[in-house]
Structure 1
């Protein structure tokens, strides 16, 4: 599993959703690295795409709602980062639906998901917890 305690921001609902994202990504990467022909991985690719498409919307909405509640000063910047990620996912969904997915695209998709999650959760989301703690909150 790729989740690390240092990714925890101290807000249970967000931390639990992040864990779920890391868990799904970890399983997807294991699938991608399996020594089978890539056509056999297409069901897993589609399942991951569907999950990411649905779950990130759900998660981003929760995260942004929480930031609104605490008057988080970097909300707009955070929202833009979420929008970019959503666009990226949707681009891969389009590629998949047009039947243009190949092994290279699957590996690229997995790498981009991993990079984005680690950078976003490990850096940008950490600032939410820091902000809450700076205001004397429990995060």
Structure 2
């Protein structure tokens, strides 16, 4: 079986840019990893790439969220508790997905779950991370 994907690309478009260099650059790293997986799938190499990508995402999400939370704590972000709760739950889901791929092997179902989690992340960026960045810039939301 070959895992194939459409040519959908994940990009930090203007509606996803937070205006905070660190946050935006880390979002780009996450999207680049998913895009590399989609490219591999398009060329019939998805089975080889999906586990590596899931492991990278699990590790990099940990780093990225730690960086965001450090900014939030240092700047006394008032929505830190809710933002942190989202991070905890999201990290757990990504780690479970990586573990499932490692245990069960690659599948179209798991590829769909990676895309689903990317959509959840995009929604979080569009609303919560943009609000965080506005607070970091202005001291208000």
* 1:127 counterpart residue number: 131
- Residue 48 of structure 2 is aligned with which of 43, 46, 49? 43
Aligned residue pairs total 131
What is the correspondence of 1:17-32 to structure 2 with a 5 Å cutoff? 17-32=26-41
- Equivalence for 1:76: 81
The 3-state SS of whatever aligns with 1:45 is helix
Residue of 65, 69, 84 corresponding to 2:70 = 65
Residue 124 of structure 2 is aligned to residue 114 of structure 1: no
What does residue 4 of structure 2 align with? none
Q: For residue 104 of structure 2, give the secondary structure of its aligned residue in structure 1.
A: coil
Q: Which runs of 5+ in 1 are unaligned?
A: none
Which residue of the partner structure matches residue 3 of structure 2? none
| SS in structure 2 at match of 1:95 | helix
Report if aligned partners of 2:101, 2:110 keep a CA contact under 8 Å in 1: no
Contact 2:16 2:126 in 1 (8 A): yes
Poorly superposed stretches of 4+, deviation over 4 Å = none
Greater RCO, 1 or 2 (C-alpha within 8 Å, sep 6+):
1
Report the alpha carbon displacement of residue 35 of structure 1 after superposing the two structures with TM: 5.7
Q: 2:37 & 2:117 partners in 1: Cα distance? A: 10
